[in-house]
Amino acid sequence: MNVTQDLSILHLILEASAVVQAVMVLLAVVSLMSWYYIFMKWFAVRQARAKTEGFERDFWSGGDLNTLFQGATAARHNSGSMERIFAAGFREFTKLRGQKNLDAKDVIDGSRRAMRATFQREMDTLEAHLAFLASVGSVSPYVGLFGTVWGIMHAFRGLANVGQATLATVAPGIAEALVATAIGLFAAIPAVLAYNRFSHDIDRLATRYESFMEEFSNILQRQMR
Amino acid sequence: MVEEKRPEPGKKSALLLTVLVHGALIAALFLGVQWKRSQTEALEVELWSPPVAVTPPPPPVVKPKPEPPKVEPEAPKKPDIVVKEEPKPKKPEPVEKKPPPPPPISFKEQLAREERQAQARLDAQIEAEQRATASQRALANDQISYAGKIRGKIRGNIVLPPGIAGNPEAMFAVTQLPTGEVLAVSLKRSSGNAALDAAIERAILKSSPLPKPDNPAVFYRELEIKYWPFEE
């Protein structure tokens, strides 16, 4: 019996059984997608943080609320989440204040509800695809493990036909199978790291938006008098 | 309030970076994982050796070829030196023109003749060597195929004992009749496993008569058989 002596990665991948190859292809696609989303989220979170900081600076520097609102509505396509929350709350506030028969408490509640709705929508956009990263991180090692187990089963079944079992007859099959686990881990580790990092960043942004909403409600309440 | 969809930032650069990361990963895998086993080819080269020592054929064929270029570069150098010596006597003593020219000519001729002779001798030598090495190589090939035949027959008759560690080598001296019948088997170097030695000896005796070589020139009454229990 002649065992293949070439153990380069390409050879290992090409020689693997069909199931193992399918697992490898699946994991490669998943890895590509997860890296794509990692970079997308990275850019998105960085941009959101920069815009939030910019708006907070503008807001607390004591500018007029009306000019701020006009600036926010004019740059609607390019505004950050906090700016949108502010714009939604302020728009509702100006609309409700025009009506004579409304209580001050109702005006504040209305604008707060508008801000809450915008906040939820913004959080939804920011958190998009994070679930994908989480499932890649948790599932792809198992998929890789499945490929490995299948490959090792294959290797041992082939071994049964050989009279004398040496390490040289088993090693290529096992190496081949382990490539699947390696690819699974390559896909999973960055995905888990990125998921933890981004969910932490987004949580911090959410806290910032919420405290801004409270503070802005206070400011609006002072304006009512 | 319907929000228009904002374009997500950095789609293209994300795609580019993704491709870059995977490219780097694949490159690292291909460069980092080059497991190759190189020893395996050498294992089957020499399984037994006849009493008459045969010099390995390949080296002599290669050696003569580089020699001619070594001789040729020397030849043009010597005339150069002669030509350089010529002008020196001319300038100080123009009267004695006749004596200096003849010696260089004769020297040149002599040099050329000697060179030609040397070249002819060298050519003849190379030819003879090549003829010798060709026949040696054919003989060596026949010996290898003969060894393969014997080893194959022994391998067919062997019953290996359990628990052999590694692939130990045992050497046996075998005396055979011209018909191939085995007269005597004696252990020359043990494999370190007495049961294995006994099994190989039984297999050799069981293989009698041993197969005959295609080329009768490689038949020897006394054989030294090196044997490994496992074929790689």
Whether B58 shows a pLDDT value over 60: the answer reads: no
**Is some CB atom of chain B closer than 8 A to the CB atom of A178?**
no
Single out the residue of A51, A58, A61, A117 nearest to residue A82, CA to CA. A51
Three-state secondary structure call for residue B223: strand
Cβ distance A40 to B33 less than 8 Å, yes or no, reads no
Measured in whole angstroms, how far is the alpha carbon of residue A4 from the centre of its chain? 43
Which chain B residues are within 8 Å of A169, Cβ to Cβ?
A: none
Q: pLDDT band for position B4 (50/70/90)?
A: low
Across chain B, mean pLDDT equals 73
Single out the residue of A187, A198, A49 nearest to residue A128, CA to CA. A198
Q: Which B-chain residues 164-203 have CB contacts (< 8 A) with chain A?
A: none
Three-state secondary structure call for residue A130: helix
| For chain B, the helix, strand and coil percentages under 3-state DSSP, each to the nearest 5 | 55, 10, 35
- How large is the average pLDDT for residues A170-180? 82
Question: Using one digit for the tens of pLDDT, what is the confidence trace for A28-47?
Answer: 999 999 999 999 999 999 99
Higher pLDDT, B227 or B105: B227
For the stretch B5-39, what's the b/e string if a residue is b when 16 or more beta carbons lie within 10 angstroms of its beta carbon? eeeeebeeebeebbeebeeeeeeebeeeeeeeeee
**Is some CB atom of chain A closer than 8 A to the CB atom of B3?**
yes
Q: CA of A187: how far to CAs of A11, A134, A220, in Å?
A: 21, 11, 49
Report the residue of B2, B5, B6 to disrupt the A interface, i.e. the one with the largest count of A CBs within 10 Å. Answer: B6
Handedness of CA A198, A203, A209, A211 (dihedral sign): negative
Q: Return the top range by mean pLDDT from A41-45, A78-82, B25-29, B142-146.
A: A41-45
Chain A's closest residue to B15, CA to CA, is A36
Question: How high is the pLDDT of residue A3?
Answer: 44
Cβ distance A43 to B9 less than 8 Å, yes or no, reads yes
Q: Quick one: what percent of chain B has pLDDT higher than 70?
A: 64
Question: How high is the pLDDT of residue A132?
Answer: 94
Which chain B residues are within 8 Å of A36, Cβ to Cβ?
A: 14-15, 18
Question: Using one digit for the tens of pLDDT, what is the confidence trace for B204-232?
Answer: 888 888 888 888 788 888 888 888 888 75
What is the residue whose two structure tokens read 């590694």? B166
Question: How high is the pLDDT of residue B137?
Answer: 84
Question: How high is the pLDDT of residue B103?
Answer: 53
Question: How high is the pLDDT of residue B62?
Answer: 47
Question: How high is the pLDDT of residue B106?
Answer: 76
Spatial distance between the Cα atoms of A5 and A11, rounded to a whole number of angstroms? 10
Spatial distance between the Cα atoms of A40 and B71, rounded to a whole number of angstroms? 71
Q: Which region among A85-94, A146-155, A167-176, B71-80 has the lowest average model confidence (pLDDT)?
A: B71-80
| For chain A, the helix, strand and coil percentages under 3-state DSSP, each to the nearest 5 | 85, 0, 15
Cβ distance A8 to B230 less than 8 Å, yes or no, reads no
Whether B26 shows a pLDDT value over 60: the answer reads: yes
Q: What kind and span of H or E run contains A83?
A: helix A81-97
Picking from B9, B22, B160, the nearest residue to A35 by CB comes out as: B22
